[in-house]
Amino acid sequence: MHGTVDGFSYGIVTPVVAFLMACLGGALGLRCTARSLRTERSFKAGWLALGATSIGSGIWTMHFIAMMGFTVRQEVLSYDRGITFASLGLAIVMVGIGIFIVGYRGATPMALVTGGTITGLGVASMHYLGMAGIRLHGQFEYNTLTVSLSVVIAVVAATAALWAAVSVNGFLASLGASVVMGLAVSGMHYTGMAALSVHLHEGAGPSAGESPATVLAPMLIGPVAFLVLAGVVVMFDPLVVMGRPDWEKRPPRPAPVPRHLPSFPEPTAWSARHQPGEGSSSPHDW
């Protein structure tokens, strides 16, 4: 028996909030990646780790906020907490590998393609592992072609976002890159959900249980709190927000000359040759 799937139980609310969380995580992570390229080598790993954790947390938060609106009409869903949090760790690790490649190799075509591919695969892997953590009296079935399309969307968009993050400076560029990253995650998620069909076991029926929002909300507290703290760190570093601080963009102004000091004419060549010194006579020597 096929289950009736509804991915928008709360209307447009969950897709919009999920997209904004993906943009937030992407903005923080990509700006930290850009910051790592302009910092000393001893701090590079710290910025890259913060960026990877921000993007991974944003991806994971986006997915499960969107999943709050996912229901199967004939079944009450539950979530395996171990697999659910394992998908968060997987996202952070795979995104971290991609970001560290770009952070240490720079914006070379090979580094961007490799890093973007691994980052995109991390987005897709997190999605499908998170879906594997759903418990119901039945099983999920996927359309292979649509799943492949979702993976391609994630890889292409993640590569484009990494390129924008490390190649273009400024607030607007970073904002555009974060939107691209948000579109990558959201587009991959809903394309993957479009590939899904639910096959319920015979005799299965709705059972008592909590709603997906009630189950997932407590698990989202930690990653959301981390994104807020990462946002505070980014706000206090001008290189992360603007690319370069304002005092580096303006040429240094010459020091003003005090008006109360008298000005003297420049010495002429004759006066320079006749200054008192060694081997010369002065009025006091007469």
Query: Cα separation of 233 and 108, whole Å?
Result: 28
pLDDT band for position 247 (cuts 50, 70, 90): very low
268 within some domain = no
Query: Cα separation of 197 and 66, whole Å?
Result: 17
Q: What is the pLDDT of residue 132?
A: 93
Q: What is the pLDDT of residue 265?
A: 56
105 within some domain = yes
Average pLDDT, the chain: 80
Q: Which amino acid is present at 215?
A: V
274 within some domain = no
Is 50 exceeded by the pLDDT of residue 281? no
Is 80 exceeded by the pLDDT of residue 278? no
Q: Strand pairing of 5-6 and 138-142?
A: unpaired
Nearest Cα neighbor of 77 from 35, 157, 134 is: 134
pLDDT tens-place string over residues 7-30: 898 889 999 999 999 999 988 888
| 35 against 152, higher pLDDT | 152
Q: What is the pLDDT of residue 266?
A: 52
Phi/psi-derived region of residue 279, left when phi > 0, alpha when psi is between -120 and 50, beta in every other case: left
Q: What is the pLDDT of residue 258?
A: 54
**H or E element, residue 2:** none
Total number of domains constituting the chain? 1
Is 90 exceeded by the pLDDT of residue 67? yes
Q: What is the pLDDT of residue 133?
A: 93
Half-sphere exposure of 263 (CA within 13 A, CB side): 5
pLDDT tens-place string over residues 79-97: 999 999 999 999 999 999 9
Is 80 exceeded by the pLDDT of residue 220? yes
| 136 against 207, higher pLDDT | 136
Q: What is the pLDDT of residue 144?
A: 94
284 within some domain = no
For 66, residues 6+ apart whose C-beta sits below 8 A from its C-beta are 7, 14, 15, 18, 186, 189, 190
Is 70 exceeded by the pLDDT of residue 152? yes
264 within some domain = no
Is 80 exceeded by the pLDDT of residue 126? yes
The whole domain housing 117 covers 8-247
Is 50 exceeded by the pLDDT of residue 246? no
Nearest Cα neighbor of 213 from 5, 14, 3, 4 is: 14
Is 60 exceeded by the pLDDT of residue 53? yes
Q: What is the pLDDT of residue 140?
A: 92
100 within some domain = yes
pLDDT band for position 249 (cuts 50, 70, 90): very low
For the chain, what percent of residues have pLDDT higher than 70? 78
Q: What is the pLDDT of residue 245?
A: 43
257 within some domain = no
99 within some domain = yes
Mean pLDDT on 41-66: 89
Is 60 exceeded by the pLDDT of residue 41? yes
